[in-house]
Amino acid sequence: MAKSSHAQWSSRMTFILAATGSAVGLGNIWRFSYLVGDSGGAAFVLVYLLCIALVGLPILVSEWMIGRRGQKNPINSLAELARKNGSSQAWMIVGVSGVLGAFLILSFYSVIGGWSLSYTLSSLTGDFSGQDAATIEGLFGALLGSPGMLLLWHTIFMALVLGIVAFGVNQGLEKAVRLLMPALVVLLVILVVYGMFSGHFGEALSFMFAPDLSAFTGGVVLAAMGQAFFTLSLGMGIMIAYGSYLGQEVKLLGAARTVIILDTVIALLAGLAIFPIVFANGLDPSEGPGLIFVTLPIAFGSMTAGWLLGLIFFLLLTFAALTSAISLLEPVVEFLEERSPLTRVPATVVASFAIWGLGIAALLSFNLWDFTVLFGLNIFDLLDTVTAKILLPLTGLGAVVFVGWVLSRESVEKELGLSGGAATAWNIAARFIAPIGVVLVFIFSF
C-alpha cells in the first residue's frame, strides 16, 4: 500500500473486506478452538465474548480513528496527533511495539499456516479416508516429529506471503475474500450439522456454554483477553494503517460491528464443529495446538466424499491464513522501507527472511527443541504468549487511552457522529470500561 500519497479504499465494502480478511484467520479456527479446549470451555468462551464486546469494540474503533485522523503510518499518525493535541511524542511507542509484535506473531503463524497447507495436500491424496481416530492422531504426531516436513511447509507458506506482499497483489486477494469467506462459513455449517448427527453435540454445547465457576482462573481470563486481541488483529497498528486509508463518510461504529460479528460467528461455528467430534471420539479437548488437525480429519475421513470437503476446508483455511499473514508482514515491510535505504521488494525479502528464521526456532519446539526456555514455556508457546497476552493488550490499551484521554472529546464525538446518550456511552467505554477491563485482567492473572 502507498504510504505517504495516502490512497483511499475504493469503497466502504473494500475496507470492510480488508479488515475482515485480516481478522478472520487461523485465530478463529485453530487458535480459538484449541484455547477453548485447553482452558476448560465455557468460562473461556464467556470471558472472550465479554472482552470482544467491552474491550475489543472500543479499541478497534480507536485504532481506526487514530489512523483516519493521523493520515499516516501508525507510528507517525500517533506522533502527529500527540503533537497536535499537546501531548508527548512517547505515544509513538504504541506504533513501534506494533511492528515488533507483527514480526513475532508472523513467525509462528507461518508454521501453523504450513500445517494447513500440508493438510490440504493430505486431503487431496486421501490420507484420511476411512482411517480411525488413532491413525489420524498418529499422522499428526508424525508431522510434528519431523523438523524437515515442518520446515518445508513453513517455507512454502512464508514464500507465498512474501510473493503476495512483494508484488503487491493484496488487492486481488482481498477481492477473493468476498467469495471465500462465505464459502468458509458454509463449510463450517456443514461440519456443525455433521456434528449434530454424528457427534456428541449436547456435550459440546454444555462444554462451550455452561461455565462452572471454579473455571474462571486468572490464566483462563488472560488467555481469553489475549484471544480477543489476536482474533480482531488489534494492538499491532494494523487497524491504524487500515484506518488511514479510510474516507470520512464511513461510519466507524457500524463497520466495527460488521467485522466483529463476522469474526465472532466464524469462531463460534468452528467450536461447534470441532467439539462434537472431540467428544464422540474420546479425544482430549486440551490436546493443544494440534486440536483441529486431529479432529477435523476424523470427521472428513468418515464422510462420503470427505476428502473433497477436507480439501476445500483446508484450502479455505489456508487462504484465510494468507490474508491475515499479509496484514502481519505489511507493517514490518513499511517500517523497513521508511527507516532503511531498502525499496519495497528487498525490504519484503529481508523482513520475510528474518521472520522465517525465527519461525524455525518455533517449529523446532515441537521436536528437537522440545524444552522449556522460560516460565515453563517452549519457544513456540513463548512467542504466542508474549505477543497475545502481553504485547497486544498493552498496545491496544495505549490506543484506547490515547483516544479517550488525549484527543479532544468533541472531535471524537464528531468523528463518530455521536451525540447525547450515545456519546456518553462511548466516552464511558473508551475512558473507563475498556482500559479498566484490560488492567483488571492483568491484575487478576498475575
CA distances to 241, 386, 394 from 401, in Å = 18, 21, 10
CB of 27 to ligand TRP, least distance (A): 2
Q: Decide if residue 28 touches ligand TRP (CB under 6 A).
A: yes
Residue 116 in the binding site for ligand TRP (CB under 6 A): no
Regarding 23 and contact with ligand TRP (CB under 6 A), the answer is: yes
Angle made by CA atoms 384, 208, 135, in degrees to the nearest 5? 70
Q: Which is nearer to ligand TRP, 77 or 233 (CB)?
A: 233
Q: Is 324 in the site for ligand TRP (CB under 6 A)?
A: yes
Distance CA 432, CA 160 (A): 42
Q: Which 377-396 positions form the footprint of ligand TRP (CB under 6 A)?
A: 392
Strand partners, 377: 374
Q: Give the span between the Cα atoms of 354 and 107, in whole angstroms.
A: 9
26 sits near ligand TRP (criterion: CB under 6 A): yes
Tell me whether residue 318 or residue 324 sits nearer to ligand TRP (CB atom).
324
* Residues 35-94 within binding reach of ligand TRP (CB under 6 A): none
CA distance 350 to 354: 6
**27 is a site residue for ligand TRP (CB under 6 A):** yes
Decide: helix, strand or coil at residue 380: helix
Distance separating alpha carbons of residues 222 and 388, to the nearest angstrom = 9
Grid coordinates given for 2: 502507498
Question: φ and ψ at 377, to 5 degrees?
Answer: -115, 145
Q: Does 327 bind ligand TRP (CB under 6 A)?
A: yes
Q: Which stretch binds ligand TRP (CB under 6 A): 23-31, 51-59, 343-351, 367-375?
A: 23-31
CB of residue 53 to ligand TRP, shortest distance in Å = 17
Integer CA distances (angstroms), 55 to 29, 102, 288, 332, in order: 21, 20, 26, 26
Q: Euclidean distance between the first and final Cα of the chain, in Å?
A: 40
Q: What binding mask, one character per residue, do residues 206-235 give for ligand TRP by CB under 6 A, x or -?
A: ------------------------xx-x--
Total residues interacting with ligand TRP, rule: CB under 6 A? 16
Q: Which residues of this chain interact with ligand TRP, rule CB under 6 A?
A: 22-23, 25-28, 105, 230-231, 233, 236, 238, 324, 327-328, 392
